[in-house]
Amino acid sequence: MSAPPRTPSPTPVVAGSDKPEPSEELQRLFATLSIDDEDSQLIDALKALSKKSPKLVKSTEYVAPADPSIRLRSWKMNEFKYYDIPSPFPTLARGLFTQEVKTASGQTKNRIVARGYDKFFNIGEVPWTTWGSLESHTAAPYTLTLKSNGCIIFIAALTPTKLVVTSKHSLGGLKENGAGPGSHAQVGEQWLRKHLAAAGKTEEQLAKTLWEKQWTAVAELCDDSFEEHVLPYPPEKTGLHLHGLNACTKRFHTQEQALVDAFAREWGFIVTPSTVLNTIPEVKEFTERIGREGSWNGEALEGFVVRTHVTEPPTKGDKPVSASPYPVGSSFFFKVKFDEPYMMYRDWREVTKTLLSKGPAESNVPKSKLRRPETKAYVRWIISEIKRDKDQFADFTKGKGIIATRERFLTWQASEEGREAADGIGAAQDSDARTAAAQAISGLRTRSYQMQARP
């Protein structure tokens, strides 16, 4: 699908002291909302915690682009503290947008407008995501969704007729000089309009549905013409990949994948590939096999997000076995990420940024990044390229040229000169997983370049 025209929606701004009141009609609407006390009290707890420990929780208030009389507050937690048990936070949500409303009785309550997933971790990253722990405190079904390689976008109902589109923590906005295609949220909104038009739907219709269901639609923005990541996306897979429908509540609850997929098809989103397994051993065997093969259904991938729910963990004596910080019955995610070649390609991206900022010298690259012989070969090649023509990397730190640079290196590596250089430092690729995954990624090269060249 071709990229939507770069005509940004009104630029959202951080709210100032001037606060226009919503219309009388909206005030009456908000006053009659049935807001769960637990949900409202969650925001009160976040407000108190942000005052007591501002390094733990921060918030920013934004003017909603679709209606400047509505203010939304974005909540951001200290990322490192998600690992702590007991959790210092009253919620584990990553991405949370709220609104203060006046009730009919004159009370101020807090409405959850958009809610992201609870923080989730990779296998073995925390005690409750070891394979053994997962067997003890989760239950079937286990839905494995392809881990999209883009940036997360939330779509929610601001009112029964208007939408709000956000990134993880921001409504975004153009740079001060107005240059560039816009923020993640704005580009996400442009793609949303394109998807809706293709499906014969309107923003008002989607707002009505999300308002009535009290859902946040969670999607991945994958558009290499806006921002490249590691894996390339061909035209037919460029846009918003829908992978979740979250309840706008304190407790994390997301809809089953079959419903999410049907919703994606109805509203014109790209469907996220998935499969369902029945046991943790099946998940382990399946992901290990895909990791060895390096691709799934002919597509290179970063990994899988596994969606399940929390059960009461068994105990040893009086202590739970690697208890998780999530309440029993809530939705629960964990991820299985593949090291090769995704992590290697990500390293190449990061060392290039380092060499561009600090100078083209191998001593500027952290030794931890040079453990792979392939990366050593890449570093030497990219240093020579920077010295030869640094201007070719002018937009690299803006997410442009990442894939093309990697492909040029892989082409050079396959040449006689590249093979001789690789032999000199032992950088021949001898891993079946790396080779298979690299071939899968290379299969997308031509389509990726066609996508980058489109208007």
User: Domains in the chain and their CATH numbers?
Assistant: 24-115+149-271 (3.30.470.30), 342-430 (no CATH)
Is-catalytic flag, 55?
no
In this predicted model, what pLDDT tens digit does every residue of 120-177 receive, in sequence order? Answer: 999 999 999 999 999 989 999 999 999 998 999 999 999 999 999 999 999 865 443 4
Mean pLDDT of the chain: 87
3-state secondary structure labels for all residues of the chain: CCCCCCCCCCCCCECCCCCCCCCHHHHHHHHCCCCCHHHHHHHHHHHHHHHHCCCCEEEEEEECCCCCCCEEEEEEECHHHHHCCCCCCCCCECCEEEEEEECCCCCEEEEEEEECCECCCECCCCHHHCHHHHHHHEEEEEEEEECCCCEEEEEEECCCCCEEEECCCCCCCCCCCCCCCCCHHHHHHHHHHHHHHHHCCCHHHHHHHHHHHCEEEEEEEECCCCCCCCCCCCHHHCEEEEEEEEECCCCCCECCHHHHHHHHHHHCCEECCEEEECCHHHHHHHHHHHHHHCEECCEECCEEEEEEEECCCCEECCEECCCCCCCCCCEEEEEEECCCCHHHHHHHHHHHHHHHHHCCCHHHCCHHHHCCHHHHHHHHHHHHHHHHCHHHHCCHHHCCCHHHHHHHHHHHHHCHHHHHHHHHHCCCCCCHHHHHHHHHHHCCHHHHHHHHHCC
Q: What is the pLDDT of residues 270-295, one digit of tens each?
A: 999 999 999 999 999 999 999 988 88
Which range has the worst mean pLDDT, 39-43, 168-172, 196-200, 445-449? 445-449
Provide the whole-model pTM. Answer: 0.84
Q: Which of 147, 194, 250, 376 is catalytic?
A: 147
pLDDT at 110: 98
